[in-house]
Structure 1
Amino acid sequence: MEVRCTSLDEVRQHIDEIDRSIVALLARRGNLVNQAAAFKQTTDDVRAPARVEQVIGKVRAMAVESGASSDVVEKVYRAMIAAFIAQELQIHAGKDAPARLPGSAQL
């Protein structure tokens, strides 16, 4: 749905609404990424370069269908995926760490 704005303030209001939606969707995506970490056995499974390229190809096609810049969408997705991979690697690294009781000394 394309919106025609009559002022910069109105443009900014619409951008703020979209940003709220994007952040909520990122939270949902992040939750799923966190769940995916439990299914992956190795850091190579986490990095999954073939899967990254599959996602990039898919979203570039979606961008064309939506009238968005496929280059911008690719850059945004590459940055987002890199951030989620870093988060997932942290989760994955903690998965193999022994549980520590609160207040226990670390060696």
Structure 2
Amino acid sequence: MKKQIRFILTSVSILLSMFCGLENSYSLEENVKIEECSDLNCVRSHIDEINKGIVLLLAKRMQYVVQAGEIKLKNNIVTAYDKKRAELVVNNAEEFAKEKGLPSGFTKEIFQVIVDKSRDFEQIKMDKKSNLDKIKTKK
């Protein structure tokens, strides 16, 4: 899993680096200028900060994944996997990336890993909660 996370962060960093040079120093957010760097340390420092932001967003996303699992259990849904939703998330990310001028397919791969790992994490949490609830009802 660490290798996949490292791959995601490295891939996103490379994408951001590539993209920043394409659009007159604009970042992924439209009309948000980035600082022009004159040396590699400056660029790497900004990429490191962006990576931290990506990790924070992934952590926030996972909190919602846990909430989704709890809601599913309350509605007697015992599996985390929703094929239609997973495909929609990946396809929406890819479409948004295309709109932003990113290389075709790259974002799709990254989001497929995010969706797969999120599903696995959600299922583990759902199984633990379900087992705890079963233990509580037996007492």
Q: Do Structure 1 and Structure 2 share a fold, with TM-score over 0.5?
A: yes
CA distance in 1, matches of 2:126, 2:132: 13
Which residue of structure 2 aligns with residue 89 of structure 1? 123
List alignment gaps of at least 5 residues for structure 2: 1-25, 28-33
1:60, 1:71 within 8 Å by CA — same for their partners in 2? yes
Divergent runs of 4+, >4 A: none
User: Over residues 75-100 of structure 1, what are the superposed CA-to-partner deviations in whole Å (9 max), with x where a residue is unaligned?
Assistant: 11011111111110101111221367
2:66, 2:122 within 8 Å by CA — same for their partners in 1? yes
Are 1:63 and 2:97 counterparts?
A: yes
Counterpart residue type for residue 50 of structure 1? K
Report the RMSD for the aligned CA atoms in angstroms. 1.8
Aligned identity (percent) is 29
Deviation at 1:7, TM superposition (A): 1.5
Counterpart residue type for residue 49 of structure 2? E
List alignment gaps of at least 5 residues for structure 1: 102-107
Q: Which has the higher contact order (CA 8 A, sep 6+)?
A: 1
Deviation at 1:35, TM superposition (A): 0.4
Are 1:42 and 2:78 counterparts?
A: yes
TM-score (norm 2): 0.65
Equivalent residues in 2 for 1:1-107 (5 A)? 1-2=26-27, 3=34, 4-40=36-72, 41-43=77-79, 46-98=80-132
